[in-house]
Structures are given as C-alpha cells and as structure tokens.
C-alpha cells in the first residue's frame, strides 16, 4: 500500500494500480463524496491506468447515477464490487447499467485482485 486515507464517510487504500474503498455504515453516497474520491484519484493515478475496488463490508446507499460521472475518468479501466451479500449482488446489477466500462462483482478480494491484474495486463497489450 502506498497511502491510506480515513475520511468521514470512508477509508481508502491507494495501491500501485488500484484503490480500495470501504464506505462507512449508514452513509448515503452522494456527488459530494464522489468529488472527494475523484480528487484522490487525480492525485495518485494521473495518466495511469487503474482499477477501483469497493469492498462492501458495511451497509450503505448509493445513487447509481454517480457512476455516469465516474465512468468519465479516462484512465479508470474497471470497477470491482467485493461482497458476498445477496442483496449487494442485486444492487450491483443495477449499478452496472450506469457504468460503461468493465464492472464486475466478486465474493472475495482475492478474486477481484486477480481480475484487476488481467484487466491491466490487457490494457497494456
């Protein structure tokens, strides 16, 4: 891990080619939260391909239209949701319709990281 942030609504880990976000319990993710995340992405991944991984350990709400803005990040090549919760899996299917890049759901961080490696390798080739 390169750097970590503890914000009022989440925890973020910055790694070489991905970031991992854990949103706090009970948060409703709004455009203002997305703006903070976008600033961090700009700082750490400027002109470098990366994958966004959200590890959904807590229960929170998200307005899926936020993904319309997130998808505009040119160097963001994929978005992974890690959760084995059946309700989260259903929510992920809805969210995916708002994101026009690679978007997958995984039960474990290990499987998400394996996918991330393949995605980045294909982006380089």
Q: Which residue has the higher pLDDT, 19 or 91?
A: 19
Res 91: pLDDT: 87
H helices within 9-100, ranges in order? 31-45, 66-70, 86-96
> Looking at residue 19, which CATH number applies to its domain?
3.30.750.24
pLDDT in tens, 32-86: 888 898 899 999 999 899 999 999 999 888 888 888 888 889 999 999 999 999 8
How are beta strands 50-55 and 76-82 bridged, if at all?
parallel
* Lowest mean pLDDT, pick from 35-39, 79-83, 102-106, 110-114: 35-39
DSSP classification of residue 24? P
Number of domains comprising the chain: 1
Q: What is the pLDDT of residue 34?
A: 86
Q: Which domain holds residue 67?
A: 3-124
Cβ-based neighbour number of residue 104 at 10 Å = 17
The share of the chain scoring above pLDDT 90, in percent, equals 63
């Amino acid at each position: 891990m390169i750097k970590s942030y503890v914000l009022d609504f989440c925890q973020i880990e910055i790694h070489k080619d991905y970031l991992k976000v854990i949103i706090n319990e009970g948060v409703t993710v709004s455009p203002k939260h997305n703006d903070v995340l976008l600033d961090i992405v700009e700082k750490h991944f400027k002109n470098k391909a990366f994958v966004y991984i959200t590890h959904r350990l807590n229960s929170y709400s998200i307005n899926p239209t936020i993904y319309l803005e997130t998808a505009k990040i040119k160097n963001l090549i994929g978005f992974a949701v890690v959760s084995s919760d059946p309700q989260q899996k259903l929510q992920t299917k809805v969210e995916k319709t708002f994101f026009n890049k690679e978007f997958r759901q995984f039960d474990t961080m290990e499987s998400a990281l394996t996918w991330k490696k393949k995605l980045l390798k294909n982006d380089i080739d």
